[in-house]
């Protein structure tokens, strides 16, 4: 069967993270949403997404296709139901479509002709950017169960101080010595070739993905995910870092999501609680206004390739777009548009030519190419977000 993951109606709620990727490639828990589906289905997937992303994330369409809403995270009951779908059947959760079996082209689908099947079980769904950190604990547990089933962890080195070792799984090549690992409140997953330096204090749930690094003396409170080849230090609480992002020094990051290729400067901090303890609002791209989150704790949402300099102070509920560079004293505003350069003292446009030079250099340090596809995506984001920048 050919499986295709589609962005669904929540794509704009997940900006700025979905400016540069389909919904399916958001990381929550240990794995990306795509990796979860491909593991459960034992099959590769392709994507229906925005046109400007389709060169990098193409769709492969066959005569028979099962389309899956990428905002939904798979579980055994749902996957079994999807595998048993017949032509012109569709699975709904309340009024939301989860999946359907079609032989039509995308333009010809009419759900009035489909047999509707209701999915009545509990399921994780990523509708908003803050769901990525607020639902991360459940996602880590589900991924931990999926990845470690019928497998044995590498031994935990004896120098470490460990609580609940049965909830700790270490992959091949990982290194950890003289750290404290408390997995009594949730699992700790340590990926292939990951490094936990001495003096680190970890309280699960934690996902340290392949090649990730936790530096000396770091304090990590779960549920936290450190994505592939990301590096963290200082104090972190309930944050999700996608791949190749760094928060390598002292300072606090809490109730936050960082995209790929982000960097948080030394001694930078984000607030995750308002002084009056009131509900946090976040910038919403759909309404172009600030939207209630229902959360008391909500810190930073940062898009790909964005950075902040040393000693940056970020307000509660700050949204930073793609390819922004923040610096200077004082608190910057709590919505920083994409391709913004500056801070509290004033802002200017971060021109693509310079931004692309930096991205190319940053990626080359990890022996990765900044491709023409990457440049085209970021150029589109620059143009699409021009209305938000004012100098």
List, for residues 270-284, the tens digit of each pLDDT value.
999 999 999 999 999
ω before 16 within 30° of 0 (cis)? yes
Burial of 138 (0-12, 13-18, 19+ CB in 10 A): middle
Instruction: Give kind and range of the element (H or E) at residue 349.
Output: strand 346-349
**Which residue has tokens 């990525």?**
132
Residue 113: predicted pLDDT: 87
**Which residue has tokens 């509900």?**
279
**Could you give the residue ranges of the DSSP H alpha helices within the chain?**
33-41, 76-83, 131-134, 136-148, 352-364, 372-384
Residue 332 token pair: 């910057």
CA 60 to chain CA centroid, nearest Å = 24
**Which residue has tokens 């004033």?**
346
Residue 127: predicted pLDDT: 96
Residue 95: predicted pLDDT: 87
Positions in the chain short of pLDDT 70: 106-108, 391
- Cβ–Cβ under 8 Å, residues 227 and 242: yes
Q: Left, alpha or beta for 186 (phi > 0: left; psi -120 to 50: alpha)?
A: left
Residue 107: predicted pLDDT: 64
Residue 98: predicted pLDDT: 97
Length of the chain measured in residues: 391
Residue 232 token pair: 């963290």
Distance, in Å, from the CA atom of 236 to the CA atom of 75, rounded to the nearest integer, reads 29
Distance, in Å, from the CA atom of 201 to the CA atom of 197, rounded to the nearest integer, reads 10
In Å, what is the CA distance from 115 to each residue of 92, 128, 314? 10, 29, 49
Minimal CA–CA distance to 190: which of 160, 241, 164, 154? 154
Is residue 387 classed as helix, strand or coil in its secondary structure? helix
pTM: predicted TM-score of the whole model, two decimal places:
0.96
């Amino acid at each position: 069967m050919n499986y295709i993951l589609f962005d669904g109606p929540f794509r704009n709620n997940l900006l700025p993270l979905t400016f540069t990727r389909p919904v399916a490639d958001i990381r929550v828990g240990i794995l990306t949403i795509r990796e979860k589906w491909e593991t459960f289905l034992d099959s590769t997937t392709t994507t229906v997404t925005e046109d400007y992303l389709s060169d990098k994330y193409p769709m492969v369409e066959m005569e028979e296709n099962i389309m899956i809403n990428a905002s939904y995270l798979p579980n055994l009951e749902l996957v079994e139901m999807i595998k048993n779908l017949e032509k012109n059947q569709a699975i709904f959760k309340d009024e939301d479509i989860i999946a359907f079996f079609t032989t039509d082209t995308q333009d010809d689908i009419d759900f009035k002709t489909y047999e509707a099947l209701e999915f009545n079980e509990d399921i994780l769904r990523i509708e908003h950017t803050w769901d990525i950190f607020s639902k991360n604990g459940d996602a880590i547990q589900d991924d931990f169960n999926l990845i470690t089933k019928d497998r044995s962890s590498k031994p935990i080195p004896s120098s470490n101080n460990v609580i609940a070792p049965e909830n700790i799984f270490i992959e091949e090549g990982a290194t950890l010595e003289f750290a404290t690992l408390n997995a009594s409140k949730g699992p700790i997953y340590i990926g292939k070739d990951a490094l936990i330096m001495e003096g680190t204090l970890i309280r699960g749930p934690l996902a340290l993905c392949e090649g990730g690094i936790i530096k000396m003396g770091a304090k990590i409170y779960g549920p936290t995910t450190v994505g592939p080849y990301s590096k963290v230090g200082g104090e972190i609480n309930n944050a999700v870092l996608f791949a190749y992002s760094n928060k390598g020094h002292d300072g606090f990051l809490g109730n936050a999501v960082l995209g790929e290729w982000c960097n948080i400067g030394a001694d930078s901090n984000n607030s995750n609680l308002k002084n009056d303890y009131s509900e946090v609002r976040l910038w919403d791209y759909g309404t172009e206004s600030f939207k209630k989150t229902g959360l008391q704790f909500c810190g930073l949402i940062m898009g790909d390739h964005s950075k902040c300099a040393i000693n940056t102070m970020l307000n509660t509920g700050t949204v930073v777009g793609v390819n922004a560079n923040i610096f200077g004293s004082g608190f910057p505003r709590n919505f920083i548009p994409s391709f913004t350069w500056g801070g509290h003292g004033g802002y200017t446009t971060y021109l693509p030519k310079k931004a692309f030079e930096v991205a190319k250099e940053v990626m080359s340090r990890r022996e990765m190419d900044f491709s023409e596809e990457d440049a085209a995506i970021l150029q589109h984001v620059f143009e699409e977000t021009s209305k938000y920048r004012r100098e």
